[in-house]
Amino acid sequence: MLEEITLTVNGQSVRMPPGATVAAAIATASAFCRRSVSGEARTVLCGMGICFECRAEIDGRPHQRSCQIVCSPGMRVSTKGQTR
């Protein structure tokens, strides 16, 4: 088994297997991905880069589709503190 990757989601440390996506890390941290324009909490719908519900800020870049991005060590993911 390869070594796990440690990254942070809203400041909380999360360990993920190598190759895991940021969307999986956000779900593991029990966080939401975003608030909709009317304020609803949202998480991944399609898991394949189509629906844009999994958008999050990754290493300072806003609106990244977290289901299409693989976790890397030390990555900082922010969903503006939206946590269950």
Interacting residue ranges for other proteins, rule: CB under 8 A: 16-21, 23-25, 27-28, 32, 36-38, 40-53, 55, 62-63, 67-71, 84
In the complex with other proteins, the residue whose CB is nearer, 10 or 32, is 32
Chain centroid to Cα 33, Å, comes to 6
Nearer to other proteins, 11 or 49 (CB): 49
Smallest distance, Å, CB 13 to other proteins? 15
Q: Which is nearer to other proteins, 11 or 24 (CB)?
A: 24
**What is the DSSP annotation of 4-44?**
PEEEEETTEEEEE-TT-BHHHHHHHTTB--EE-TT--EE--
Instruction: Report, in Å, the least distance between residue 11 CB and other proteins.
Output: 20
- The burial of 22, by beta-carbon neighbours within 10 Å (0-12 exposed, 13-18 middle, 19 or more buried), is given as buried
